[in-house]
Amino acid sequence: MTGAETAIAESIASDLGTSYGLDTAGAVPVEGGWLNRKWKLQGPRGPVLVKQYSVERFGPQRLDEVEASLGRQLLLEEAGIPCPHIWKAGDSILRRLDDATCYMVMDFSPGRQESWETVTTGQLYSLGVVCGRMQQALEAIPAQGVRGYPPPGGRRIWDGLWAFHESYQVEQGGPQALSRAMAAQKNILKSLDQAFFDRLPMGLSHEDFTPDNMLFDDTGVAAILDFDRNQYGYLWHDVGRALLSFTLAEGGLAMEKARAFLEGYAQVKEAPGLADALRLVWCLEFPWWMQPKLFGPVSPKVARFRDEICWITDRWFELDELLGDVFILDLDTKNLCSEDCKGLCPGCGADLNVEPCRCKKEVDPRLAKLAQLLEQDN
C-alpha cells in the first residue's frame, strides 16, 4: 500500500485528539481484516488500536448492529472474558464523523496468532474453557432485539442450501472439486431435515470464531477479538469452526487437540456432539466457500476454509463413525501431567503452574470503590 493508503484519515486524526486526547504521530498500520483499516499507536497507558470501518461493508444500520455487539463485548470484559478494553467517547463506542467516516478505539492486545500446525493442546484446552465461559456470560443478556433473534429456523437454512444448489450451473472445464462437492451436496440435503437444526442449542455467540480473532501466549488464550458479528445463532458454530480451524490436519482431525478443546468447553457448558458441530459449520458456510472463483488462485487462508468444507462434504455420512468413539470421556476429570501439577484454571484457562488465575473476583458492592482505588495504585 502507498503512504496515502496507510495514513490515518485527517478527520480521524483530528477527532482522536479532540475525543480521546490521542496523538497519531508514529501510528503504524496493522494488517488483517477485510476492507477495514487499523492502526497501532501509543496511548497514555500503553498501545491502542484504532479501527476504521469500511463504508463499502458497513452502512448506518449495520453500524448500529456493530455498536450493539461491541456493547456486549464490554459486558464480557466485565465478566472476566479476555477481550480488548474498548474506549468510549461519552456514551458512544463508535465515532461517526460528518464525512461518513466511522472508527473506534480499543486497547492493543498482546499475544500471537496460532494455526493448526503451531497450536498446543494446552492452548486449545484454554480456548475451550474461554469459549464456554463466553457463551455462558452471554446467556445473561436478553436476546430480544439482538441481531439474529428471533431465529429464522432451520427450514430457512435448508431452503437456502437447496436454492444455492439449484442456482449452480455446471461449466464445461470448471473446477472438478467444486463439481464433486455440488453433486455430494444434493445427496446430503436429501438426508437433512428440520429435526437436525431443532436439536442444536441456540443463544448469543461470537459467530466469527476463527484463528484471526484469537491471540495466545504460551499458557493459553490471551484475547478474543472482533465481536462485530456477535449475534443470536447456533452455539455449536463457534465450537465447530474452532475445531476445524485448529485441528484439521493433512491426515484428518488431530484427535488429541480436538479432545483438549472439548474437555475445556465441557468444564463450563454441556459437551457438544462433535459430528453435528462440524455438520452445522457445513450448513452455514457451504455457500460462502463453494464459489467457482475460490477454486482458482486464492490466498492460503481462503484455500484453507474452502478445503475444510470440502473435507466435511466428502465425509458427511461417515462423521459419526469416524468421531463417535473418540470423545467418550470422563469430562469431569481434571487431567494433570504430574501429581504436583496445579492444572489449568477452569474459569480463565490460565496455567496455574506459571501464572495466577486471571478470573475477575466478585467484589462486595460496599467495597467496590475501595477496590477501584487499589487497582489504580497498582
Helix (H), strand (E) at residue 102: strand 102-107
**Residue 29: CATH number of its domain:** 3.30.200.20
Question: Is residue 180 domain-shared with residue 315, that is, in the same domain?
Answer: yes
342 lies in some domain: no
Single-letter amino acid code for the residue at 49:
L
Query: Which structural domain range is residue 23 located in?
Result: 3-107
Question: Is residue 49 domain-shared with residue 141, that is, in the same domain?
Answer: no
Pick the closest to residue 262 from 249, 248, 277, 252 (CA basis). Answer: 277
Whole-number Å distance between alpha carbons of 78 and 326: 36
CB 285 within 8 A of CB 210: no
Mean pLDDT of 53-71: 93
The grid coordinates listed for 140 are: 445473561
Domain endpoint, select from 305, 323, 341: 323
CB 223 within 8 A of CB 214: yes
Question: Is residue 275 domain-shared with residue 140, that is, in the same domain?
Answer: yes
Question: Is residue 102 domain-shared with residue 169, that is, in the same domain?
Answer: no
Pick the closest to residue 236 from 325, 154, 298 (CA basis). Answer: 154
Question: Is residue 318 domain-shared with residue 294, that is, in the same domain?
Answer: yes
180 lies in some domain: yes
**Residue 160: CATH number of its domain:** 3.90.1200.10
Mean pLDDT of 222-238: 96
370 lies in some domain: no
252-306: pLDDT as tens digits: 999 999 999 999 999 999 989 999 999 999 999 999 999 999 999 999 999 999 9
Whole-number Å distance between alpha carbons of 216 and 223: 7
Question: Is residue 142 domain-shared with residue 89, that is, in the same domain?
Answer: no
Mean pLDDT of 15-38: 90
Question: Is residue 79 domain-shared with residue 126, that is, in the same domain?
Answer: no
Mean pLDDT of 86-95: 95
Whole-number Å distance between alpha carbons of 100 and 5: 17
341 lies in some domain: no
Whole-number Å distance between alpha carbons of 125 and 123: 5
Question: Is residue 268 domain-shared with residue 170, that is, in the same domain?
Answer: yes
Question: Is residue 83 domain-shared with residue 129, that is, in the same domain?
Answer: no
Domain endpoint, select from 49, 76, 107: 107
Question: Is residue 190 domain-shared with residue 87, that is, in the same domain?
Answer: no
The residue ranking higher by pLDDT, 153 or 316, is 316
19 lies in some domain: yes
154 lies in some domain: yes
103 lies in some domain: yes
Domain count of the fold of the chain: 2
Question: Is residue 60 domain-shared with residue 17, that is, in the same domain?
Answer: yes
Question: Is residue 307 domain-shared with residue 182, that is, in the same domain?
Answer: yes
Domain endpoint, select from 303, 323, 343: 323
- Portion of the chain with pLDDT greater than 70, in percent: 83
The owner of cell 457448558 is 269
147-191: pLDDT as tens digits: 999 988 888 999 999 999 999 876 666 788 999 999 999 999 999
pLDDT bin (cut points 50, 70, 90) of residue 333 is: very low
CB 178 within 8 A of CB 261: no
CB 189 within 8 A of CB 161: yes
329 lies in some domain: no
